């Protein structure tokens, strides 16, 4: 899985939103277009190859409103699965939101 593959599936609209992701979007005031925009300019900062049912990764992107956004997503059965979405908390992440603090 690479960012190009994620972006291609996003561009094609081949996206599945998990119930968990939808709940987080609503709770955090994040829109689907925020997620798609962030993925379109994002970079993979962590990989989770052993996740079930599909390998996944953490993408750091920026919304159209210039807010950093983390998107946990995976690819399976030719679809992009959006698993979770959140604004990274400054106290948990380095200033560039690419590395966790304390690791």
pLDDT in tens, 10-22: 999 999 999 999 9
pLDDT at 102: 78
**Residue indicated by tokens 């970079």:** 43
Q: Which of 12, 79, 103 is nearest to 45 (CA)?
A: 103
Query: pTM for the complete prediction?
Result: 0.94
CA–CA distance, 4 with 2 (Å, rounded to integer): 5
pLDDT at 103: 60
pLDDT at 4: 96
> Could you say which residues of the chain have pLDDT below 50?
none
């Amino acid at each position: 899985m690479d960012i190009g593959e994620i972006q291609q599936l996003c561009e094609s609209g081949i996206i599945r939103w998990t119930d968990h992701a939808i709940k987080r979007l609503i709770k955090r005031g994040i829109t689907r277009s925020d997620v798609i925009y962030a993925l379109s300019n994002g970079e993979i900062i962590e990989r989770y190859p052993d996740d079930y049912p599909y390998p996944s990764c953490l993408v750091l992107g920026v919304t159209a409103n210039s807010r950093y956004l983390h998107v946990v997503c995976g690819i399976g059965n030719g679809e992009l699965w959006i698993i979770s979405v959140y604004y990274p908390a400054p106290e948990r992440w380095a200033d560039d939101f690419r590395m966790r603090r304390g690791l």
